[in-house]
Amino acid sequence: MSDYTHVMIAIDGSEESSKVLARGMALAAPGSKVSVVQVFDTLVGNYSYELNMGDFALAQREYEEAVAKQTRAMLKKDCPSLPAEAVHFLRGKPASEIKRLAESLHVDLLVIGSHGQGAVKAAVLGSTANAVLHGIHCDVYTVRV
């Protein structure tokens, strides 16, 4: 039986997100609150400096909308009882935003994938997961992906 009353699951929109989501849902005891967070980092590294700021803002917004649409479809399929207000789409540095939200929601367990979509996939522990571990107030469960 789990002692956790609020489980937050951090996903990144990758194919592995379903696995992280399933593990997080399994760790949540009946009656526990569950939140899901997805943080969009700036796409600056993926675009040429030739884009003007208007084009960049549009590209960022279109990217976020497309990924959020995929995430909502996955959540509807895998977690149909999860209320919309329990899903958080944020923009910023993923580790910082995840820690900030976890503290503000009084989460007592964070579930996160061991690797994400970032460039450091070959590392033993993904850069975001590693950064989250430093200074977070709650337990962290990493899912090998």
**What pTM was estimated for this model as a whole?**
0.84
- CATH number for position 34: 3.40.50.620
Let me know if residue 32 belongs to a domain.
Answer: yes
Which residue in the block uniquely carries the two structure tokens 């970032």?
A: 118
Let me know if residue 1 belongs to a domain.
Answer: no
Percent with pLDDT over 70 in the chain: 82
- Of residues 89, 113, 100, the one with CA closest to residue 22: 113
Let me know if residue 139 belongs to a domain.
Answer: yes
- Of residues 139, 113, 140, the one with CA closest to residue 126: 113
Let me know if residue 59 belongs to a domain.
Answer: yes
Judge contact between 102 and 130, C-beta under 8 A: no
Q: pLDDT tens across 78-129, in order?
A: 999 999 999 999 999 999 999 999 999 999 999 999 865 554 343 445 688 8
Q: How many domains does the chain have?
A: 1
Let me know if residue 25 belongs to a domain.
Answer: yes
Question: The domain containing residue 16 runs over which residues?
Answer: 6-143
Let me know if residue 95 belongs to a domain.
Answer: yes
Give the model's pLDDT for residue 124.
40
Judge contact between 59 and 72, C-beta under 8 A: no
